[in-house]
Structure 1
Amino acid sequence: MESSGPSVGDVVTVSAVRSTVGQKTLMAVSGILLVLFLVAHMIGNLKVFVGAGSFDHYAHWLRAIGAPLLPHSGYLWIQRAVLTAALVAHVWAATALALRARAARPVGYAHRRPVQGSYAARTMRWGGVIILLFAIYHVLDLTTGHLNPVGDRAHPYGNVVADFAPERWYVTLFYTLAVLAVGFHLRHGLFSAVRTLGQRTAAGEQRARLVALLASVGLCAGYLSVPFAVMVGLVG
């Protein structure tokens, strides 16, 4: 006889995901996946310093990955689907944890000492909003080309140069704010992910803080080097 309801395994899985530990683990794993993408994307962006030919070849190569098994740009669509799923899972877990923490917060006190980490929590929330808005703009700018002054898919290098031209300083400013938001988000997120995944010793926490700081600074420097290089004429 076929079962008409969810199996015990399904119930356990759903219960685990909805638990605090499960949501923290989901947020950590999805966050690490997004960070790996950011690192790979940054490395690709740095090819702009090699020259137009190298950068354009790299951009076209991304669309040809998996050929002939995958259609043109098939890999990119798979990547976008995975990243979207990771982003949705990350935001859902973060929201659920924030609502749970708020529901468990004691009330009835006229004065309360600031909770340690509240600044980091506010940074994560507002940083997440800035990052989301920037991601939408970035896709419309350098992926679809609708907001790019050139928008030529055949010459991505030219799109980047046109995008961060000196007269478009406001684009570089917005890009800088978004990247700095990513840096703050990454610094706190990496440290939290390491703790969630099992690092609890004092020495381990210090190493985790240092690694999170170095990773966020390195990522910010890598991403910001491109628009500022274009703006001052080193790339063009």
Structure 2
Amino acid sequence: MTRTLWGSTVGKKIVMAVTGLIMLSYLVVHMMGNLKIFFGAGEFNGYAHWLRTLGEPFLHYEWALWIFRVVLVAAVVLHGVSAYQLSRRDIAARPVSYARKKRRASYATRTMRWGGVILGLFIVWHLLDLTTLTVNENAQAGHPYENVVATFDTWYGDVIYIVAMLALGLHIRHGFWSAAQTLGVGNAIRDRIFKTVANVLAAVLTLGFICVPVAVMTGVVS
């Protein structure tokens, strides 16, 4: 039964919808945590330390954080694999190009695939930048506030992050509504409601994430 569900187009769309909602929930929490940077180094570093001690003494140091990471990695992988396989099926279903290509409904719809690639590459860079500190030239282990400022003190750090967040906004705008359709919550009225929610979520998350590098660039956070 599980194999049949995974092997079907509907099953893959359900996997994409559920994993997308898991990642969206994480993004909301992550954005709220990022905004603590506006309250100073002590508040932001304290929040970062709390994440590592979450669940103690029942869980060991950083265990909760690693559980979240494993769940997120699994969600990203399943989401990406499902998207790729659905894309291949879509291409196989119409091997002959249309004489006249039809324009899709929106820019977000037309760029979902490239947006996913951009976000996948960004995740790798983001981990190397602020988790392993590999590409962050001025990183200081145990000083997350200072490391964020160090990243956004570089022009390339700002460009990479802002471009990725714009791609994220477009991805959420289309993806949230598509997930709602896949999970069977659509009708004429609810379609309008979910499209509005998708637009609001995309705007709030995009602005919420982008305001951090902008604050560093303008000296509001230093």
Shorter-chain TM band: over 0.9
Matched, 1:69 2:58: yes
For 2:149 and 2:41, how far apart are their aligned partners in 1?
Answer: 10
Out of 148, 168, 179, which is 1:182 matched to?
A: 168
For 1:216 and 1:108, how far apart are their aligned partners in 2?
Answer: 33
Out of 131, 139, 143, which is 1:155 matched to?
A: 143
How far apart are residue 88 of structure 1 and its match? Answer: 1.0
- 2:20 counterpart SS class: helix
Q: Which runs of 5+ in 1 are unaligned?
A: 1-11
Give the aligned partner of residue 39 of structure 2.
Answer: 50
Give the aligned partner of residue 95 of structure 1.
Answer: 84
Give the aligned partner of residue 115 of structure 2.
Answer: 127
- 2:111 counterpart SS class: helix
Matched, 1:38 2:27: yes
- Post-superposition Cα deviations, 1:70-124, rounded to whole Å, max 9, x if no partner, equal 2221111111111111111111111121111111126275x13415348544411
Give the aligned partner of residue 158 of structure 2.
Answer: 172
Out of 20, 34, 45, which is 2:9 matched to?
A: 20
Matched, 1:116 2:104: yes
- 2:122 counterpart SS class: helix
For 2:97 and 2:136, how far apart are their aligned partners in 1?
Answer: 52
For 1:146 and 1:94, how far apart are their aligned partners in 2?
Answer: 29
What's the C-alpha RMSD, in Å, of the aligned pairs?
1.6
2:118 is aligned with what amino acid? I
For 2:65 and 2:29, how far apart are their aligned partners in 1?
Answer: 13
2:206 is aligned with what amino acid? C
- Post-superposition Cα deviations, 1:138-172, rounded to whole Å, max 9, x if no partner, equal 1111111121132223211111112112xx12210
In structure 2, the CA distance between the partners of 1:157 and 1:209, relative to structure 1 (3 Å rule), is: same
In structure 2, the CA distance between the partners of 1:14 and 1:96, relative to structure 1 (3 Å rule), is: same
Q: Which runs of 5+ in 2 are unaligned?
A: none
In structure 2, the CA distance between the partners of 1:162 and 1:120, relative to structure 1 (3 Å rule), is: closer
Matched, 1:193 2:161: no
**Count of residue correspondences:** 222
Aligned-pair identity in percent equals 49
1:130 is aligned with what amino acid? I
Please tell me whether Structure 1 or Structure 2 has the larger radius of gyration of its CA atoms: 1
For 1:21 and 1:180, how far apart are their aligned partners in 2?
Answer: 29
Give the aligned partner of residue 224 of structure 1.
Answer: 210
For 1:159 and 1:55, how far apart are their aligned partners in 2?
Answer: 11
Deviates more, 1:195-204 or 1:28-37: 195-204
Out of 127, 151, 156, which is 1:139 matched to?
A: 127
2:188 is aligned with what amino acid? A
Out of 204, 207, 214, which is 2:190 matched to?
A: 204
Structure-1-length-normalised TM-score: 0.89
For 2:2 and 2:142, how far apart are their aligned partners in 1?
Answer: 46
